[in-house]
Structure 1
Amino acid sequence: MRAYIFIAMVAMVATYLYTPLIRHLAIQLGAVGEVRARDVHTVPTPRMGGVAMLLGFITAMFFASRLNFLQGEFRQNHQAWVVMAGAAMICLLGVADDVWDLDWMLKLAGQLLISVFVAWGGLQIISLPIGGLLTASPMISIAITALLIVVSINAVNFVDGLDGLAAGIVAIGGIAFGIYSYVLSRQQVSYASMATLVDVAMVGICLGFLLHNWHPAKLFMGDSGSMLLGYLITCASIIITGRLDPATINTSAYVPAFMPILLPVLVLFLPVLDMLMAITRRLRKGQSPMHPDRMHLHHRMLRIGHTVQGAVLILWGWAALIAFSSMFLLFFRFVDVLIGFVVLAVLLTIATLYPYFKRMGPGAHSNDGVLPKSNAPKHVQESGRA
């Protein structure tokens, strides 16, 4: 455990130190988020923060490769190198989008190619934990893996709409999944786990970047950051879940990962929900699934009267409730987890809707869905394209 905490600290400090340098580089390259019609921020802000996060991740992995506890994970197979290569490529694709604002179809094609490369390089879902069911062929395994990576990449990109929102949600999901993967790794001969390593390094870069990205943000993570985070958390899930043998794992510990495809959805529930709602909404209007609008979850939170910080904290709360509830099944009875989930869900629902009920109460004046002037953000992130 101490080794993982050390790696997380290295990732956090490195990312924190790299970020001001990347902010200066972003300004020099013209990667500045100008205010657009669909945006809610009013101040042009540099993006490309994903580059600082990538450098922080690679730095942490370099330190990990020098630790006796984790050296074997780098020597036994080439998964670590595949993960880092894919991270570099997905980040560079995001940088191109941050600088030149790529067409969504071109960006999606790039995501697919990179995901296929990573799957072809050995990062695959080989078995599904349903009675030890094996994938029918290597090609199907590559296709399932690539699809899962692309979905997660775009889910995080969709939710990247307020200062600190995406980094916080991914960090919360990463902490929950990191605890889960660590518990599973302790059932093996060696406690060292590449999945846990990738996860804690990812949590570290999120925390380091958050110190610069909290409202008002000095730098946006941009697509280079949101796509990188979606990629990394999925890689950690695939590494540990795609090769699990159900016969070797205690049933009670296996419940949270009944299917590898569901695990990333649990830790990224809000991003996936936001993405599915946006796609459905746009298709009903006859628009492209990537057509931008102002109806994301964070837009709705601001519209009913939340401040930027308040909206982010409440959405973090929902993410933590969903992610940790699955992880708590490792330690507590299902009934106890369910009771705790319901109680906290009620409290979060009250907190979520409080500004709305306050405005609609006796003597209150309706704003007809317009954000109250007192809460109108003066500097709010909206770096995602969708």
Structure 2
Amino acid sequence: MNVLGIIASGVAALFITVVLAKGVRRTALGSAAGRDPGGRPSRAGVVRRLGGATLVLGVGAAAAAGWGLGAAGDHGRAVTGLLAGAGTVAVLGLVHDVRPLGIPLRVAVQTAAATLAVCLAGLSPVAGVLAVIWIVLVTSAFALLDTADGVLATVAAVTAAGLLACAAVDGRSGLALLPAVLLAGLIGFLLHNWHPARVRPGACGSLFTGFLLAASGVLILVAA
């Protein structure tokens, strides 16, 4: 296991997320609070919900750096597919945060992203279908957790720690990389998301997090 590469990636995810979240927080504080006269969310409210984008950028950049350092090991193809799928749902969530989208469209995009990740993971047809269903369900479930300060990030951090432990026991660096950087990024995000939350993950952060956890869990289970 490329321990140094994983540690370096985790530190990078923590640092990038903290810095970016702080920037979003300052922007939100500098905007008008509450709602505008027309009853629509204020700019400050929108900015606070876009905090999830900082988590996506921090984790994504760190994971890419870890992949470049060889931390993905023999699982580079699977890691690439997982990141591509997670990035797709993150963009979906970002758009939804700014302009709400319908459920059918969101489910369709999540299904396509899960299918991409599963295909690059090399699962059998039956296992692949079950994996896609699992990933979509978990991703959607995490979108419902963004209801109270720190809840989603805390649940996700505990889950990521469990997945990291499972991957580490088997010595699979590629599969330990993503839970590691996600855990570090979530810790950095929690510094600004804990009660009272200054930034929120929004659909962007919640969908990205749920997808990464669900897909990583599938890959770790299959490789066990």
- TM-score when scaled to structure 2? 0.83
Q: What is the match of residue 233 of structure 1? A: 213
State how 1:1-386 maps to structure 2 within 5 Å. Answer: 1-22=3-24, 44=45, 46-67=48-69, 70=71, 72-73=73-74, 77-120=76-119, 122-123=120-121, 126=123, 138-185=124-171, 192-244=172-224
Give the distance between the partners of 2:133 and 2:34, measured in 1 at CA: 29
Question: Relative contact order, CA 8 A, sep 6+: which one is greater?
Answer: 2
- State percent identity of aligned pairs: 25
Secondary structure of the structure 2 residue equivalent to 1:78: helix
Deviations 1:312-354 (A, max 9, x none): xxxxxxxxxxxxxxxxxxxxxxxxxxxxxxxxxxxxxxxxxxx
From the superposition, tell whether residues 26 and 145 of structure 1 become closer, same or farther in structure 2 (CA, over 3 Å).
farther
Verify the 8 A CA contact 2:84 2:113 in the aligned structure 1: no
Give the distance between the partners of 2:202 and 2:16, measured in 1 at CA: 19
Deviations 1:17-63 (A, max 9, x none): 122345578899xxx9969xxxxxxx946212221111111221233
The answer for unaligned runs of 5 or more in structure 1 is 36-42, 127-137, 186-191, 245-386
State the one-letter code of the partner of 1:103.
G
From the superposition, tell whether residues 208 and 33 of structure 1 become closer, same or farther in structure 2 (CA, over 3 Å).
farther
Secondary structure of the structure 2 residue equivalent to 1:220: coil
Give the distance between the partners of 1:166 and 1:71, measured in 2 at CA: 27
Give the distance between the partners of 1:3 and 1:44, measured in 2 at CA: 37
Secondary structure of the structure 2 residue equivalent to 1:160: coil
State the one-letter code of the partner of 1:123.
A
Q: What is the match of residue 40 of structure 2? A: none
Give the distance between the partners of 1:33 and 1:197, measured in 2 at CA: 39
Give the distance between the partners of 1:26 and 1:112, measured in 2 at CA: 33
State the one-letter code of the partner of 2:96.
D
State the one-letter code of the partner of 1:56.
G
Give the distance between the partners of 2:25 and 2:111, measured in 1 at CA: 28
Give the distance between the partners of 1:25 and 1:113, measured in 2 at CA: 34
Verify the 8 A CA contact 2:13 2:58 in the aligned structure 1: yes
Verify the 8 A CA contact 2:153 2:190 in the aligned structure 1: yes
State the one-letter code of the partner of 2:132.
A
**Which has more radius of gyration?**
1
Question: 1:226: how far off?
Answer: 0.7
State the one-letter code of the partner of 1:109.
A
The answer for unaligned runs of 5 or more in structure 2 is 37-43
Question: 1:12: how far off?
Answer: 0.9
Give the distance between the partners of 2:110 and 2:66, measured in 1 at CA: 27
Secondary structure of the structure 2 residue equivalent to 1:159: coil
Verify the 8 A CA contact 2:67 2:76 in the aligned structure 1: no
